[in-house]
A and B are shown apart, each in its own frame.
Chain A
Amino acid sequence: MDLETVMERAGPREFGPGDDLPEKYRKAATRMIQFHANSEVMGGYLDKTFTRKAPSLDRKLANTAKVQDEIGHAQLLYRAAETLGVKTRAEMLDELATGDGKFLNCFHYPVDSWYEAPMIDFFVDGGAMRRQATLKSTSWTPYAHAMDKVCFEEGFHVKHGESILRELMNGSKATQERMQETFDVWWPRILQFFGPTNDESVHDDFAQAVGLKTATNDELRTSFLNMYIPKAEKYGLEIPEYPRLYERDDGTMAVREDDLDWEEFWTISRNEYEGSKEQIGSRRRRQDAVEWVRESLETWESSAGPTPQTAD
C-alpha cells in the first residue's frame, strides 16, 4: 500500500498486521505506541512510591492494584507496537533503560508525598483517559484493541484519584493548604501534558492524516480543562493565576503558552531534565536487579523447543 492509499483509507481500526503498510506509517505508529507504552511503565514506577505513602490499608491495596494495571497496559502496548515490525519489545525496553525511550512529561518529576497522588491519579490519569478514549478509533487495530482494555480499567484509577483529592480537601486547614501548594507546583505540568499548541507540535499532521491520532492537542486540552477545572474548584482548589487561561471566541478554553516553561518541557522531552535521569536510572536499576528472572525464563523457553515438555 502506498502512502496515498493509506491516507485515503485512514479511519478507525482500518489497518492491521495483515496489511502491507509503508514504512513511514509503521514508524510513526511505532513512535507513538512506544511512547505510550514507556509512559505506562514510567507512570507505574512513579505511582508505586505512593503505596508506602498511602495513609490506610485500603489506599495501599488500591494503589498496588493500580500499579499492576499500569504495567499490564505497558505489556499490551509493547505487543501492539511490536506487530508493526519496526522494533521488538526487547529493543523498546532497552531504549527505555539507556535513556533513548521517550515518555510523558509528568512522569519526569520524582514524587515524595501523598499529596502528589491525586495529581497523578486524578489529573494526569484523567487527561490520559481523555486521550485514550479517542485512541479507541485509531487506525492501527492492535492499538485500538489495547485501548479497549485500558479504558475499561482506567475508570477505577480516575475515581480513586478523585476520592483521594476529596479526602485531603476535607482534611484540616493545614492539609488543604499543603494540597493547594502541591497543586500550584503540578498545575503547569498538567497543562503541558497535552503538549504545545497544534502549530508547534512536531508529529501531529502526519499522525492525523493517517488516522493514528483522531483528536488534536488543542481539542484534548480544551475538553480536559472544561471537565477538570470545575472538579478542582468543587473541592476548593484555587486555579493558579499563572499560567493564564482565557476563553477563545468559540467559547473553548486555552492557555497563554508564553506563561508555561517550554524550555523545561523540551529538556524533558530529550530526557535531559534532572528528574528524567533520576526516574530512568531508578527504573533501570530495578530492571537490572531482576535480570535473573528474565534469564531463567529465556533459558526455559529455548530449552523447551517446538514441542512442549512436561515440567520435571
Chain B
Amino acid sequence: MIWEVFRQEEPGDSHEHVGNVHAPDREMATLFARIQHARRMQTNSLWVTPRDEIGEVTAEEAAFGGRTDKSYRWAMTYNDIDASFAEEVADSESKQREAARKRREALREEETDA
C-alpha cells in the first residue's frame, strides 16, 4: 500500500507533500516516513495518508485560475494607487505579483510545448 507523506518543518507551518512510502498499515507508514523524510530534514510533524484517499484534478482537466483576463482581481492592476502606506497591503500586492508571474510563466511554457 502506498502512503503519501506530508512534512511540517516548523510548528505553525503548513504540511507540505514530500513524497511517499510503501507500508502495510498506518503505523508502519509513519515509521517509514520518519526514516525516509524526517531523518535529515528539519521536521516538527509528519502526516501520512493512503494514496487512494487523495482526490486529484490536474491542469489537463481543469483551467486553473481560468484563461480569461481577470486582471481586475489583482492588486497590481490598480497601479495608480500606492500600496506602500500600509505594510500589509504592500505585502499582499508583492505576493500577488509573484503568483501572477508564476502563472504567466506556466502559461508561456504550455504555449511553447503546444
Listed in ascending order, the chain A residues whose CB lies under 8 Å from chain B are: 12-14, 58, 61-62, 65-66, 69, 126, 129-130, 132-133, 141, 144-145, 151-156, 158-160, 162-163, 166, 227, 230-231
Contact = CB atoms under 8 A, between A and B. Distances in A.
Contact of A62 (B72, B87, B91): B72
Given A65-B73, A155-B75, A159-B93, A133 B81 contact: no
B91 to A, nearest CB: 7
20 contacts: A14-B11, A62-B72, A65-B70, A65-B72, A129-B89, A151-B92, A152-B92, A154-B92, A155-B88, A155-B89, A155-B92, A156-B78, A158-B86, A162-B78, A163-B80, A163-B81, A166-B80, A227-B86, A230-B85, A231-B85
A247 to B, nearest CB: 20
Interface residues of B, number: 25
Contact of B12 (A13, A58, A126): A13
Contact of B83 (A65, A141, A155): A155
B88 A133 contact: yes
Interface in B1-59: 11-12, 14
A155 B72 CA distance: 12
A156 B71 CA distance: 10
Contact of B73 (A12, A62, A133, A227): A62
Contacts of A126: 86, 89
Given A69-B73, A126-B86, A155-B92, 17 more contacts: A12-B12, A61-B72, A62-B73, A129-B89, A129-B92, A145-B14, A152-B92, A155-B75, A155-B89, A156-B92, A156-B96, A158-B89, A160-B78, A162-B78, A163-B81, A166-B81, A231-B85
B72 A58 contact: yes
Contacts of B77: 156
A155 B96 CA distance: 8
The winner among B70, B73, B78, B89 for most chain A CB atoms within 10 A is B89
Contacts of A227: 85-86
Contacts of B85: 227, 230-231
Nearest to A12: B12
B95 interface: yes
Nearest to B95: A152
A151 B11 CA distance: 20
A130 B89 CA distance: 9
Contacts of B80: 163, 166
A13 B88 CA distance: 19
A159 B92 CA distance: 10
A159 B83 contact: yes
B88 A152 contact: no
Given A58-B72, A156-B73, A129 B88 contact: yes
Contacts of B81: 159, 162-163, 166
Given A13-B12, A166-B80, A156 B74 contact: yes
Contacts of B14: 145
Contacts of B93: 155, 159
Nearest to A160: B78
Sort A-B residue pairs by CB-CB distance and give the 4 closest, nearest first: A155-B92, A13-B12, A133-B88, A65-B73
